[in-house]
């Protein structure tokens, strides 16, 4: 796990945000397709031809979408970011806080990297204003919010 500064996390946000959006969409689609597949699996012996065809289509789409999700997870990790809650598009930029593994975290819709959390928990805390000042991004933070 490479350690990132708040400044680095902010500078990576344009790229990471696009991948996080993809992660959110693909994760949600996988969840929906798994639910549909389970529905058809439970009544597979009672399906008419139209339902059986739909079951096959769902299975095929689920396979492709799971592969897309796997590739998206690889892509996000390759840029040094961790997926924290894929269905929300919540991603983490690895850092240290008080010598403990932590993340600066972001999810789609947020104007900047405004939160952080320890690695072993998802309790997101606001980034203190002093951290922005120390990173030299105080003014850009004010404009983004």
* DSSP character string of 92-115: EEEEEETTEEEEEEE-TT-SS--E
DSSP state of 44: G
Pick the more confident residue, 72 or 44.
Answer: 72
Full-model pTM:
0.82
pLDDT at residue 106 is higher than 70? yes
User: Which helix or strand (DSSP H or E) is residue 15 part of?
Assistant: helix 6-42
Confidence of residue 143 (pLDDT cuts 50, 70, 90): very low
Pick the more confident residue, 44 or 141.
Answer: 44
pLDDT at residue 8 is higher than 70? yes
- Report the relative pairing of strands 100-106 and 90-97 from DSSP bridges: antiparallel
Composition of the chain by helix, strand, coil, percent to 5 = 60, 15, 25
Task: Tell me how crowded residue 79 is: count the other CB atoms within 10 A of its CB.
Answer: 12
CA angle 12, 87, 82 (to 5 degrees): 35
Which residues 6+ apart lie within 8 Å of 24 measured at CB?
A: 86, 87, 88, 89, 107, 108
Which residues 6+ apart lie within 8 Å of 37 measured at CB?
A: 55, 58, 59, 62
| Predicted pLDDT of residue 93 | 97
Mean pLDDT along residues 106-125: 94
Residues 17-68 pLDDT 10s = 999 999 999 999 999 999 999 999 999 889 999 999 999 999 999 999 999 9
CA-closest candidate to residue 61, choices 36, 43, 24, 44 = 36
SS3 60: helix
| Predicted pLDDT of residue 139 | 52
């Amino acid at each position: 796990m490479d350690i990132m500064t708040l400044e680095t996390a902010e500078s990576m946000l344009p790229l990471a945000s696009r991948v996080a959006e993809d992660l959110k969409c693909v994760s949600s689609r996988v969840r929906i397709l798994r639910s549909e597949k389970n529905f058809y699996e439970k009544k597979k012996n009672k399906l008419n031809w139209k339902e059986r065809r739909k079951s096959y289509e769902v299975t095929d789409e689920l396979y492709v979408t799971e592969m897309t999700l796997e590739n998206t997870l690889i892509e996000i990790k390759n840029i040094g970011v961790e997926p924290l809650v894929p269905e929300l598009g919540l991603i983490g930029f690895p850092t240290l806080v008080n010598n403990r593994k932590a993340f600066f975290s972001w999810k789609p819709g947020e104007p900047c990297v405004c939160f952080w959390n320890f690695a072993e928990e998802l309790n997101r805390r606001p980034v203190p204003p002093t951290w922005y000042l120390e990173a030299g991004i105080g003014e850009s933070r004010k404009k983004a919010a």
